[in-house]
Structure 1
Amino acid sequence: MAEIVAVAGVPHTPAFPSLARGDTAASATVARRYAAVDEVVARADADVLVVLTCDHINTFTPDLWPTFAIATGDSVLGPNDDVPGVSPTSYALAGDAGAALHRGLVARDFDPVALRSHSVDHSVVVPLHFLNQRRLPVVPVYLNGMVAPRPSAERCRRLGRVLRDIVENLPDRRVAVVASGSFSLEVGGPRMLPDRLYGVPRPAWAHTVASLLYRGDLDGLVAATTERRIEEAGTVAGEILPWIAAAEMAADLPIALMDHRAQEGHAFAAWGPA
């Protein structure tokens, strides 16, 4: 039987890998925050890493836009967009695990696309840059948080529950899960900050999300995560949906870290061994 040994959640800001290598106070802060999450994941000694994320119209297009998708191939190239300081890399996939997740979800009335050949953007590459120093095989799992109509928060929670059941019935594996994204974030819209490429329209919502996750109140988080709340929180605030699925997958794990700071639209979190 397989086991989920750690669950993490991090932002995937494309500038963070380059920033973390700098010599400023901001650089050190970013590096420390990812390192704190990585410490929990590394301590769990996983052998497969499942990444729950949303594409940014780089892997998919509006003409072919799945609600859910799972990588089932052997390798994937990324990034397919601009991530300063990260060269194009081929990442090994756990294709057998991806195929098992795909089959199991279809059997449980989900209909994910099986991706046998694709490339990944910063939403996968940035978490792997910081949290996969051991180069574990990866299974990217995509939830549509970008293009309406999105799946509901409750459906994403059910997805996490089904994924947990399927994982636990895999042959002997130690699985770590990473949710990738932010809670309140405006990119390419009118609510971006002056002279910045982003904005945080609803920092209070991000604080609420982090607080509910820390308390383990997933019922409250799912009830509060309405389509209207997502729209108010920014153009890419649907990235909360992978976090909801991941939090459900962490149901049997204690929370080890929740690092959210005032006015931020994201958090760094980990569930697993203390």
Structure 2
Amino acid sequence: MAKITAGVATSHVPAIGAAIDLGKTQEPYWAPLFEGYEFAKQWIAEEKPDVILLVYNDHASAFSMDFVPTFAIGCAEKFEPADEGWGPRPVPTVEGHPRLASHLAQSVIQQDFDLTIVNKMDVDHGLTVPLSLMFGQPDAWPCKVIPIAVNVVLFPPPSGRRCYELGKALRKAVDSFDEDLNVQIWGTGGMSHQLQGPRAGLINQEFDKEFLEKIVNNPEELSRKPHIDYVREAGSEGIELVMWLIMRGALNPEVIEKKRFYHVPASNTAVGHLVLENKE
């Protein structure tokens, strides 16, 4: 049977993708950030997941202000890198897993989560930057990926509690799939940052570090944090952190923390990263 064995959390800052694509990873500004992902790159090469459920938010590439689903799942065979205004990133096409994705949709919808099923969409930096951080620059991504898009762009976003419970529903769905698969779930986005207005450039290290601690060791409490706390303490784009709760909800209550990394700044954003394994 399929099994979720581990979770990964990471920021998905677009400038990180540009640094990779332009060969700047060893420049003094960027080198400390990429060094923080060296453990994860070695770890995932050993773990060899068959499928990644990758939770991210679209940045007006697949969806527009005319149509923004709260939760959406990509059920296609493949997903092309999106053109975000300066051409698609030079990264491989993302290969999906339609059979598992359809099973997840069936199971999660029957658990009363209304997922939007998407059979064709391009994927932007929210999804491709995490893949690049973990796998480098391969000719093809080494595993299948199922995109799970969450609206954290247009008000109102889903609550942290709803995201946490969705993670639990996804775990139950994976457990009932009748193929032997090593599945990981990734939560992306964040950490504290604001891109506009008088608080543009806001980074709250105290909030970020507390969040990293609680999502590992007290996710139930963290799942009850209201939206306004994210906006007030972590900036308008800090709300992306609720997507990490989907990842955490899909894991066991107790996990083994393999890696924790925090770095500021990357562009105008704080970067956070976790590698968690299920504790049996």
Residue of structure 1 equivalent to 2:15: 15
Aligned to 2:84: 81
Q: Distance in 1 between matches of 2:29 and 2:230?
A: 28
Greater shift in the superposed pair: 234-243 or 104-113: 234-243
Structure 2 letter corresponding to 1:12: H
User: Offset of 1:201 from its aligned partner?
Assistant: 4.3
Relative to 1, partners in 2 of residues 1:31 and 1:183: Cα closer, same or farther, differing over 3 Å?
A: closer
The structural deviation recorded for 1:82 is 5.5
Which deviates the most, 168-177 or 64-73? 168-177
Question: RMSD of the TM alignment (CA)?
Answer: 2.3
Equivalent residue for 2:275?
270
The alpha carbon displacement at 1:156 in A equals 0.6
Structural mapping, 1:1-274, within 5 Å: 1-20=1-20, 21-22=23-24, 23-81=26-84, 86-87=89-90, 89-132=92-135, 133=138, 134-170=141-177, 171-192=179-200, 199-214=201-216, 216-223=217-224, 225-232=225-232, 233-251=234-252, 253-261=255-263, 265-272=270-277
Question: Is the contact between residue 70 and residue 112 of structure 1 (CA under 8 Å) also seen in structure 2?
Answer: yes
Contact 2:81/2:89 (8 A) holds in 1: no
Secondary structure at 2:76 match in 1: coil
CA contact (8 A) 2:251 2:278 kept: no
Tell me if structure 1 keeps the 8 A contact 2:264–2:271.
no
**Alpha-carbon distance, 1:136 to partner:** 0.9
Percent identical residues: 21
**For structure 1, which segment, 65-74 or 48-57, has the greater mean C-alpha deviation from structure 2 after superposition?**
48-57
- In the aligned structure 2, how far is the partner of 1:33 from the partner of 1:59? 30
For 2:274 and 2:102, the matched residues in 1 are separated by: 28
Displacement of 1:203 after TM fit? Answer: 2.9
Aligned residue in 2 for 1:195? none
Q: Do the aligned residues in 2 keep the contact of 1:79 with 1:125 (CA within 8 Å)?
A: no
Measure the CA separation in 2 of the matches of 1:83 and 1:89: 17
Residue 11 of structure 1 aligns with an amino acid whose one-letter code is S
What is the identity, as a one-letter code, of the residue corresponding to 1:169?
A: S
Length, aligned pairs only:
266
**TM, length-normalised to structure 1:** 0.89
Q: 1:124 to 1:73 in 2, by over 3 A?
A: same
Contact (CA 8 Å) 1:6, 1:40: kept in 2 or not?
no
CA contact (8 A) 1:144 1:150 kept: yes
Q: Any unmatched runs of 5+ in structure 1?
A: 193-198
- State the distance in 2 between where 1:262 and 1:8 align: 19
Distance 1:65 1:94 in 2: 23
How far apart, in 2, do the equivalents of 1:202 and 1:28 lie? Answer: 22
